[in-house]
Amino acid sequence: MTALDQYDRLEAVGLWQAAADASPREVIVTFGNATLTLMDSAEAPLAHWSLAAVEECDGPGLTLSPDPASGERLEIRDTDMIAAIRAVHSHTERQEAEGRRASRLVPLLLLAVLLAGAAVFLRVPAQAALANRITEQAWVNLSEQLAEDALAAPGVTLCPALGRRAPAELARIATRLGPDMPRLRPILVRMERPWLPLPGPVFLIDAGAIESAGQVEEIAGLTALAAAQRTSGAARDTVVEELGLPALLRLASSGTLPAEDRREVLAALVDLSRIGSDAMDAEALRRLESAGLPSLPLGLLLARTGAPEARVERLQAGDTIGTAAYRPALSDGDWLTLQAACR
């Protein structure tokens, strides 16, 4: 129950003076919804005051006035009415104080929101500025570190006969994809995903994907993706987006990342290998088309390994060969040799 509820419909007799030169007269004072109503003996309203607006003046009992300078005032001696008025006055003052505190908090909250927005807004330019300071050698070193981390993960093993050497047949596929291919250094491993992009020349490719491929153009498609991510910068963009500003600053200044940051980056790169990016996939399609190779086999490979349906459809729709004849990415003999490289 509030102070207003407790004193609802309370009445008392008071002495009201309408002006400084007026004679006081007896009135009936009715306590309403945070208001006082003054009535004569016939219950005709004489005045209606808001309790929030009246002031307490010097005088006997409780003396109130809506405007002390005007001389209008009301004297009340009834203890219940006095208690009601003072209770509501106290309640109103608390509300006003809370309102003042809230009004002071609003600018602070607005400032906090603006600062948070500025931090988000400025984060991207700051990331880009730091990324531009990362040297090519730092990216290469990070790729090597990430490759070692990936090779140390459970379920990932090198091909015993190859170690970290790439089969010559993968280099022939890269040559088939065009003279403008970026430098690539594939490492043949056994793992759960068909490939793993890294922010440098190194990338991992799954021997199982090669062994189970129905045609060499599936692997040519993976090689095109590896080249496309280097050209588009997809893996580096993923690293920059994943890292916070302190870690980026460390990478830019020292060329290294702590193990915990590298784990987070590797997880993001695994997602990139499955989800892809528009720029990377478009560049891979361009390379395959330029080499006269179909992209449909790449779409089939990624569909088998859990790529999003939209990505698979995009790669398949980009196929420019269709049922037309084309020169395979490898000779039959080289393809069989590549499939046996990790056995």
Pick from 109-118, 183-192, 270-279: least confident = 109-118
Percent of the chain whose pLDDT exceeds 70 = 86
The mean pLDDT of the chain is 86
- Rounded to whole angstroms, how far apart are CA atoms 304 and 294? 17
122: which residues sit within 8 A by CB, 6+ positions away?
Answer: none
Is residue 300 within 8 Å of 255, Cβ to Cβ?
A: no
Nearest to residue 139, comparing CAs of 56, 199, 82, 209?
199
Provide the total of helices (H) and of strands (E) in the chain, helices listed first.
13, 11
The answer, yes or no, to whether residue 8 has pLDDT greater than 80, is no
Q: What is the reported pLDDT for 238? A: 95
Lowest mean pLDDT segment, chosen from 90-99, 180-189, 206-215: 90-99
User: What is the pTM (predicted TM-score) of this model?
Assistant: 0.64
How far out from the chain centre does Cα 292 lie?
41
Q: What is the pLDDT of residues 280-300, one digit of tens each?
A: 999 999 999 999 999 999 999
pLDDT digits (tens, 9 = 90+) for 145-168: 999 999 999 999 999 989 999 999
List, in order of start, the domains of the chain with CATH numbers.
Answer: 1-133 (2.30.29.30), 134-339 (no CATH)
Expressed in angstroms, the distance from the first to the final Cα of the chain is 83
Do 6 and 87 meet the contact criterion of CB atoms below 8 Å apart?
Answer: yes
Q: How far is the CA of 77 from the CAs of 29, 59, 66, 74, 275, in angstroms?
A: 11, 11, 18, 10, 81
**Mean pLDDT across the stretch 69-75?**
82
Handedness of CA 44, 47, 49, 54 (dihedral sign): negative
Please give the angle made by the CA atoms of 161, 169 and 152, to the nearest 5 degrees. Answer: 45
Query: 284: which 2 tokens?
Result: 């891979």
Q: How many angstroms separate the CA atoms of 258 and 110, rounded?
A: 37
